[in-house]
Amino acid sequence: MSSRRSPTSGHDGHSQEVVGSSAPHVPHEPDTELASDAQDGVAFETKLAALFSAALLAVTLAPIAQNWAEAPADGFPFSYYPMFSHPVGETYRVTHVVGLDADGREHVIPYGYLGTGGLNEVRVYVERAAHQHPKQFCEEVAARLSARPSDDLRHVRELVVRTGAYVMESFYAGAIQARSQREHVKCRVPR
Helices 134-147 and 119-132 pack at an angle, to 10 degrees, of: 130
Q: Is 166 in the site for another protein (CB under 8 A)?
A: yes
| Residue 133 DSSP label | -
- Nearest distance from residue 187's CB to another protein, in Å? 18
**Distance separating alpha carbons of residues 111 and 94, to the nearest angstrom:** 13
* Interface residue with another protein, options 31, 36, 40, 120 (CB under 8 A): 120
143 binds another protein (CB under 8 A): no
* Rounded least distance, CB 24 to another protein, Å: 3
Q: Where are the alpha helices (DSSP H) in 31-186?
A: 32-61, 119-132, 134-147, 168-173
The amino acid sitting at 158 is E
* Cβ proximity to another protein, 35 vs 49, nearer residue: 49
As separate numbers, helices (DSSP H) first and strands (DSSP E) second, the chain gives 4, 6
Q: Which of residues 31-50 bind another protein (CB under 8 A)?
A: 42, 45-46, 49-50
Stretch that binds another protein, among 32-40, 102-110, 141-149, 183-191 (CB under 8 A): 102-110
> Using the rule CB under 8 A, is 128 a contact of another protein?
yes
Stretch (H or E) spanning 164: strand 158-167
Instruction: Rule CB under 8 A: say whether 180 interacts with another protein.
Output: no
